[in-house]
Copies of this chain bind each other. A is one copy, B any other.
Protein backbone atom coordinates (compact mmCIF):
# COMPACT_ATOMS: atom_id res chain seq x y z
CA UNK A 1 0.00 0.00 0.00
CA UNK A 2 1.47 3.32 -1.07
CA UNK A 3 0.62 6.13 1.44
CA UNK A 4 1.21 8.71 -1.30
CA UNK A 5 -2.01 7.53 -2.98
CA UNK A 6 -3.93 9.19 -0.14
CA UNK A 7 -2.25 12.57 -0.76
CA UNK A 8 -4.33 12.83 -3.97
CA UNK A 9 -7.61 13.12 -2.06
CA UNK A 10 -8.88 16.71 -1.90
CA UNK A 11 -10.22 18.39 1.23
CA UNK A 12 -10.88 21.78 2.73
CA UNK A 13 -9.76 22.94 6.18
CA UNK A 14 -12.40 23.46 8.86
CA UNK A 15 -12.81 24.30 12.53
CA UNK A 16 -15.57 22.43 14.35
CA UNK A 17 -16.60 23.62 17.79
CA UNK A 18 -19.00 22.89 20.60
CA UNK A 19 -19.76 24.02 24.11
CA UNK A 20 -20.95 22.28 27.25
CA UNK A 21 -21.01 23.14 30.96
CA UNK A 22 -19.52 26.55 30.26
CA UNK A 23 -16.54 25.04 28.44
CA UNK A 24 -15.87 25.94 24.79
CA UNK A 25 -13.77 23.79 22.51
CA UNK A 26 -12.87 23.51 18.87
CA UNK A 27 -10.42 21.76 16.58
CA UNK A 28 -9.13 21.75 13.03
CA UNK A 29 -10.31 18.96 10.75
CA UNK A 30 -10.17 18.25 7.03
CA UNK A 31 -13.04 15.77 6.98
CA UNK A 32 -16.19 17.89 6.73
CA UNK A 33 -18.41 16.60 3.93
CA UNK A 34 -21.99 17.26 2.86
CA UNK A 35 -23.51 13.78 2.63
CA UNK A 36 -27.12 14.63 1.77
CA UNK A 37 -28.84 17.77 0.52
CA UNK A 38 -32.47 17.13 1.41
CA UNK A 39 -32.35 17.53 4.33
CA UNK A 40 -28.84 18.99 4.41
CA UNK A 41 -26.57 16.74 6.45
CA UNK A 42 -22.85 16.91 7.09
CA UNK A 43 -20.38 14.29 8.26
CA UNK A 44 -17.26 15.00 10.31
CA UNK A 45 -14.61 12.56 11.58
CA UNK A 46 -12.99 13.24 14.95
CA UNK A 47 -10.29 11.35 16.81
CA UNK A 48 -11.59 9.59 19.91
CA UNK A 49 -8.99 11.38 22.05
CA UNK A 50 -10.25 14.74 20.86
CA UNK A 51 -11.72 16.97 23.57
CA UNK A 52 -14.09 18.63 21.07
CA UNK A 53 -15.61 15.20 20.38
CA UNK A 54 -16.50 14.89 24.08
CA UNK A 55 -18.15 18.32 23.97
CA UNK A 56 -20.13 17.39 20.83
CA UNK A 57 -21.23 14.05 22.30
CA UNK A 58 -22.47 15.82 25.45
CA UNK A 59 -24.17 18.80 23.83
CA UNK A 60 -25.46 16.98 20.74
CA UNK A 61 -24.64 19.99 18.58
CA UNK A 62 -21.67 21.56 16.84
CA UNK A 63 -20.65 24.44 14.65
CA UNK A 64 -18.39 24.18 11.62
CA UNK A 65 -16.62 26.93 9.70
CA UNK A 66 -14.86 26.82 6.34
CA UNK A 67 -11.47 28.52 6.73
CA UNK A 68 -10.42 31.02 4.06
CA UNK A 69 -7.05 31.03 2.30
CA UNK A 70 -6.10 34.22 4.14
CA UNK A 71 -6.29 32.54 7.56
CA UNK A 72 -3.16 32.94 9.69
CA UNK A 73 -1.16 29.84 10.56
CA UNK A 74 -1.38 30.99 14.19
CA UNK A 75 -5.12 30.40 14.05
CA UNK A 76 -4.66 26.85 12.73
CA UNK A 77 -1.98 26.20 15.35
CA UNK A 78 -4.26 27.45 18.10
CA UNK A 79 -7.05 25.09 17.13
CA UNK A 80 -4.85 22.26 15.96
CA UNK A 81 -1.91 22.03 18.30
CA UNK A 82 -3.04 22.84 21.81
CA UNK A 83 -5.22 20.55 23.85
CA UNK A 84 -8.65 21.98 24.55
CA UNK A 85 -8.40 20.48 28.01
CA UNK A 86 -5.62 22.91 28.94
CA UNK A 87 -6.07 25.99 26.82
CA UNK A 88 -9.08 28.16 26.19
CA UNK A 89 -8.91 28.21 22.42
CA UNK A 90 -11.52 30.92 22.07
CA UNK A 91 -9.81 33.36 24.44
CA UNK A 92 -8.99 36.69 22.78
CA UNK A 93 -10.13 35.89 19.27
CA UNK A 94 -13.12 37.31 17.35
CA UNK A 95 -15.96 34.84 17.79
CA UNK A 96 -19.69 34.41 17.50
CA UNK A 97 -22.31 32.12 19.02
CA UNK A 98 -24.90 30.31 16.98
CA UNK A 99 -28.51 29.75 18.09
CA UNK A 100 -27.45 26.53 19.87
CA UNK A 101 -24.69 28.38 21.81
CA UNK A 102 -21.83 26.79 19.88
CA UNK A 103 -18.87 29.16 19.51
CA UNK A 104 -17.31 29.79 16.11
CA UNK A 105 -14.45 31.94 14.83
CA UNK A 106 -15.55 34.88 12.67
CA UNK A 107 -12.34 36.05 10.98
CA UNK A 108 -11.12 34.57 7.70
CA UNK A 109 -14.12 32.31 7.53
CA UNK A 110 -15.97 31.68 4.23
CA UNK A 111 -19.13 30.17 5.67
CA UNK A 112 -20.45 28.61 8.85
CA UNK A 113 -22.86 25.84 9.77
CA UNK A 114 -24.74 24.78 12.87
CA UNK A 115 -25.66 21.12 13.18
CA UNK A 116 -27.62 18.83 15.47
CA UNK A 117 -26.09 15.38 15.82
CA UNK A 118 -28.45 12.76 14.39
CA UNK A 119 -26.17 9.71 14.42
CA UNK A 120 -22.61 8.55 14.78
CA UNK A 121 -20.49 5.61 13.73
CA UNK A 122 -17.39 4.16 15.36
CA UNK A 123 -14.80 3.83 12.59
CA UNK A 124 -11.80 2.78 14.70
CA UNK A 125 -9.50 5.55 15.93
CA UNK A 126 -12.17 8.09 14.97
CA UNK A 127 -15.90 8.63 15.32
CA UNK A 128 -17.91 9.73 12.33
CA UNK A 129 -20.60 12.21 13.40
CA UNK A 130 -23.59 12.97 11.17
CA UNK A 131 -25.12 16.37 11.78
CA UNK A 132 -28.31 17.83 10.38
CA UNK A 133 -27.69 21.41 9.34
CA UNK A 134 -29.99 23.90 11.09
CA UNK A 135 -28.12 27.08 10.17
CA UNK A 136 -25.93 27.82 7.14
CA UNK A 137 -24.53 31.27 6.50
CA UNK A 138 -22.04 32.75 4.06
CA UNK A 139 -19.61 34.82 6.13
CA UNK A 140 -17.46 36.13 3.27
CA UNK A 141 -18.77 35.52 -0.21
CA UNK A 142 -15.57 36.59 -2.00
CA UNK A 143 -13.02 34.72 0.15
CA UNK A 144 -11.53 31.56 -1.35
CA UNK A 145 -11.70 28.44 0.82
CA UNK A 146 -8.35 27.15 2.04
CA UNK A 147 -7.80 23.74 0.49
CA UNK A 148 -5.85 21.05 2.31
CA UNK A 149 -3.30 21.13 -0.53
CA UNK A 150 -2.78 24.88 -0.13
CA UNK A 151 -2.62 24.47 3.63
CA UNK A 152 0.44 22.27 3.12
CA UNK A 153 2.01 24.89 0.82
CA UNK A 154 1.26 27.51 3.44
CA UNK A 155 2.84 25.39 6.16
CA UNK A 156 5.95 25.11 4.03
CA UNK A 157 6.12 28.84 3.47
CA UNK A 158 4.93 28.91 -0.14
CA UNK A 159 2.22 31.28 -1.29
CA UNK A 160 -0.76 29.25 -2.49
CA UNK A 161 -2.02 30.22 -5.95
CA UNK A 162 -4.77 32.86 -5.76
CA UNK A 163 -3.95 33.74 -2.18
CA UNK A 164 -2.43 37.22 -2.41
CA UNK A 165 -3.17 37.98 1.21
CA UNK A 166 -0.96 35.21 2.48
CA UNK A 167 2.37 36.43 3.77
CA UNK A 168 5.34 34.51 2.44
CA UNK A 169 8.00 33.35 4.84
CA UNK A 170 11.47 31.99 4.26
CA UNK A 171 12.10 30.95 7.86
CA UNK A 172 13.20 27.37 8.36
CA UNK A 173 10.54 25.43 10.21
CA UNK A 174 11.49 24.02 13.62
CA UNK A 175 9.34 21.20 14.86
CA UNK A 176 8.03 17.73 14.14
CA UNK A 177 6.45 16.29 11.02
CA UNK A 178 3.74 13.62 10.94
CA UNK A 179 5.07 10.80 8.76
CA UNK A 180 1.56 9.88 7.65
CA UNK A 181 -0.03 13.13 6.52
CA UNK A 182 2.84 15.62 6.55
CA UNK A 183 1.34 17.83 9.25
CA UNK A 184 4.01 19.92 11.00
CA UNK A 185 3.95 20.76 14.69
CA UNK A 186 5.96 23.96 15.08
CA UNK A 187 7.38 23.44 18.54
CA UNK A 188 10.68 22.72 20.27
CA UNK A 189 9.10 19.82 22.09
CA UNK A 190 6.73 17.01 21.13
CA UNK A 191 4.32 16.10 23.96
CA UNK A 192 4.08 12.32 24.56
CA UNK A 193 0.30 12.43 24.25
CA UNK A 194 0.31 14.55 21.11
CA UNK A 195 -2.23 13.49 18.48
CA UNK A 196 -1.91 14.70 14.89
CA UNK A 197 -4.87 17.08 14.53
CA UNK A 198 -5.21 16.21 10.85
CA UNK A 199 -4.86 12.43 10.57
CA UNK A 200 -5.09 11.38 14.20
CA UNK A 201 -1.77 9.52 14.50
CA UNK A 202 0.02 9.60 17.85
CA UNK A 203 3.41 11.10 18.71
CA UNK A 204 5.31 7.97 17.65
CA UNK A 205 4.57 8.83 14.03
CA UNK A 206 6.32 12.23 14.25
CA UNK A 207 9.92 12.85 13.30
CA UNK A 208 12.03 15.91 14.16
CA UNK A 209 12.68 18.40 11.36
Contacts and interface: CB of A to CB of B under 8 A. Distances in A.
Contacts of A133: 1
Interface in A132-149: 133-138, 141, 145, 147-148
Number of copies: 2
B35 A11 contact: no
A199 interface: yes
Interface residues of A, number: 55
A46 B28 CA distance: 26
Interface stretch (A15-23, A85-93, A117-125): A117-125
Given A9-B12, A33-B45, A66-B9, A39 B124 contact: yes
Interface of A: 1-12, 31-41, 43, 45, 66, 110-113, 119, 121, 123-126, 128, 130, 133-138, 141, 145, 147-148, 161-162, 180-181, 199-201
